[in-house]
Amino acid sequence: MKQYGHFSDNGREYIITDPNTPRPWFNYLFNRAYHALVSHTGGGFSYFKDPKTYRILRYDHVHTDRPGRYLYMRDNKTADVWSANWQPICKPFEKYKCVHGLGYSVLSSENKGIASDITYFVAQEDPIEIQIIKIKNISNEARDISLFPFVEIVSGDIELETVYRNIISLYSQAEYDKNAGALIARKKRFHYKQQGVGVTFFAMEGEMNGYETNKEKFFGRYSSVQSPVMVAEGKLSDTDVEGEDMVGVFQKNIILKAGEEIEFVVSLGYTPDRKAAKELKEKFTAVKLAKAELERVKKYFSEAIERITVKTPNKDFDLMTNIWGKYQLYAITCWRGTSQYHGGEGGLGYRDTAQDIEGLLSVQMDLAMEKLEKILYWQYNSGHAVSGFSDIEGSWDKDEDGLTMKSDVAVWLPYTVISYVKETGNVDFLKKVFKFHNGGEATVYEHILRAVRFLYKERGEHGLPLLRKADWNDAYDHVGIKLKGESVWLGMALARACKQMQELAWFLGDTDVAGEMKEKYDTLYKIINKEGWDGQWYLAAFNDYGKKMGSKENKEGKVPLNSQTWALLSGVAPQDKMESILDKIDNYLDTPYGPVLFAPAYTEFDEQIGRVTAFAPGTKENAAVFSHACAFKIVADCTIGRGDEAIETFARLCPMSEAKQDHEKYKGEPFVWAEYVVGPSNKHNYGEGTFNWNTGTTPWMFIAATEWILGARRDFEGLRIDPCLPKDWKECSIKRPFRGAVYEIEIKNPEGLNKGVKEVVVDGKKIEGNLIKAHGDGKVHKVSVLMGK
């Protein structure tokens, strides 16, 4: 059983001890304007505001993890060449270590008497990434070394760059700007619709002994990033470039006595023009300035993860909830539209963003509100919503009303707005007016009412919501394209929205809407249990031709997970169906990694269903252990008091779980949630974790942990304390901010129950029931919870 790293003692760092990991293991370094994806060898890419339009660095693929932010090194006495990162030359080191931390990564290596440390981070606010480089001579003799910091620059639209490589490179221009003290690279503006085009700058502190911007010259004829000829020869050409592929390379020649060291800064950023580039470069490109900014970044993330903390008998639960899952949540809420697996798509998915907001509300309200206002705007005035959006290029939808696109997007808006009201108590927000992106405006309350009414109106022959191009499962992309297919799952999701809207309306005293929503819910309840029930479990959908999906009539895709879990989440499953659907979840679908999305897997393409049937069995939405769907299952378990089953699935999803200890098999980063684990129907890669970082699993697992398992749950009238624990958790705790105060909640479970609160004591006084009225006094309040019957 091979392992490549481990957590630090306090869990805030993951330490990689072997560079030859089965996949590149990434850290996300970011602020709200800039994102750098940095692997354990410095691979990855960066962008400003949008990963498609304002891509800064090129990146090929995770299988090569190239190119990246490299430091080539040359011993000028022996002509020996290596890279401080290990990649891309990949010579063996005497020592190697990569530390991924919260907001920073540090790469350390030793080779033939030279020690190097490279600290990568992104400034707290400015669009710049910084490398603090330290080189030390640990040999017994003086050393003559040349250093070559390197990046490969795109500075433009990566989608166009990829599709029209031979044309787009003709717009490239890079040169060394003496006034700015930096390499300046850009794509010339070549189309009237282009937004303001800025510049990429690459700078180095201290004396420079040469530079290079021409990729072909730097690599050499028929050579590559692995063996650049100019490094081998020890001399750059000081060449500017126009109309060709661009790199940024500096040369720094140093002579170090035995035991001597040098420290300097390299910076990379994106600005509107050269003047701004010079100013930003001068702000950080010095060791003292860079180190001060690094401390600011570390302090920021340290404070951010401490806003909610938990303590339980399960250390993996604590590690993911307190640190890495939370850091992942911050990262993807800022930058959901890309990952190392698919770097060319710009913008943000609508449903993704809505769920990220819901997860973030309790810990980072200002960022959550920034995103919430965006998704209100990107709703259609019909009540429907766009599939996704870009601040730069607008809607992803190709039609004017989105009616041929994804069907489920609007259902997530009511959940998110209602969660905001519960978290803050701010009902006045519902009166605030926001525009629809296609014209008109309405209050927030009207926005969410339109969402529910639109979905309810747009139903098909069986009375279930139309599926269109996809419901939650994006790969059901042919199921409803003739606008006849219907989604059983979306019927459940809509029923859940109606139920939440009914509760909101009652809280507001709006009896008309409360009555309307109850009527809609009751209608959907009957339809789902009549049309959506297949005898032992709930169907997934009906396609355009009336064919059942997720049915005993199917040979493949027979039993769907989401329809069973959302029957519980929405409350539409009557008691007499409960045993049967739980049997399918717990037995038919389960694996050591969690339940698969459905079973059996599809093996041949079905044009009446879509690309889900063409994926390799066990991958993506074709019967993988899809972590997002497993997170739904955990919350569903808690709604019916299944604490043992909830924590068992939570534990299996953790990236450091027992089944994932063999890193050669699991492959993905062992410190963040994976989108999915390849399922048992795949005979080659079963157990491999992939598409890490960018996944809707992240907000749902945080909500599952804090609001459902530990039960510190927002409600309209206050903070409801309603844990759902495994029987063997006798004590646990959660510290949680809520409406201007902090609650330190200690939970005792002496009888080993799953659910049931016997007593709640706040600041030494027993309260009636389990609802704590918000204090709003800026103080810390001690809460003691005794579980019991």
Between CA 295 and CA 304 the distance in angstroms is 14
708 DSSP 8-state letter: I
CA angle (385, 386, 390) in 5-degree steps: 135
Tokens matching residue 275: 């003047």
Torsion of CA 216, 219, 225, 229, to 10 degrees: 180
Neighbouring residues of 765: CB distance < 8 A, sequence distance ≥ 6: none
Contact 592, 659 (CB under 8 A): yes
- Of 325, 305, 301, nearest to 655 by C-alpha is 325
For residue 606, give every residue at least 6 positions away whose Cβ sits within 8 Å of its Cβ, in sequence order, or none: 478, 613
Q: Give the 3-state secondary structure of residue 72.
A: strand
CA distances from 502 to 143, 221, 496, 512, 513 (A): 75, 69, 10, 10, 7
Known catalytic membership, residue 428: no
Which one, of 484, 515, 125, 485, lies nearest residue 476 by Cα?
485
How many other CB atoms sit within 10 Å of the CB of residue 757?
Answer: 18
Q: Which of 613, 619, 645, 643 is nearest to 540 (CA)?
A: 613
Q: State how far the Cα of 310 lies from the Cα of 322, in Å rounded to an integer.
A: 6
Which residues neighbour 178 within 8 Å (Cβ) at sequence distance 6 or greater? Answer: none
**Residues 6 or more apart in contact with residue 360 via CB below 8 angstroms:** 329, 330, 333, 367, 368, 371, 699
SS (H, E, C) 22-63: CCCCEEEEECCCEEEEEECCCECCEEECCCCCCEEECCCECC
HSE of 231, CA atoms in CB hemisphere, 13 A: 26
The catalytic position among 245, 474, 534, 637 is 474
Q: 198: which residues sit within 8 A by CB, 6+ positions away? A: 48, 54, 186, 270, 271, 272, 273
User: How far, CA to CA in Å, does 671 sit from each of 75, 129, 693?
Assistant: 37, 23, 10
- 255 with 142: CB under 8 angstroms? yes
Q: Please list, residue by residue across 322-357, b when 16 or more beta carbons sit within 10 angstroms of its beta carbon and e when fewer do.
A: bbbbbbbbbbbbbbbbbbbeebebbbbbbbbbbbbb
In sequence order, which ranges of 335-443 are alpha helices (DSSP H)? 350-360, 365-377, 412-424
Integer Cα distance of 40 and 16 in angstroms: 7
Measured in whole angstroms, the distance separating CA 70 from the mean position of its chain's CA atoms is 25
Where are the alpha helices (H) located in 306-403, listed in sequence order?
315-319, 325-334, 350-360, 365-377
Taken as a whole, the chain contains a residue count of 789
In the chain, the N- to C-terminal Cα span, in Å, equals 45
Catalytic residue positions, numbered? 474
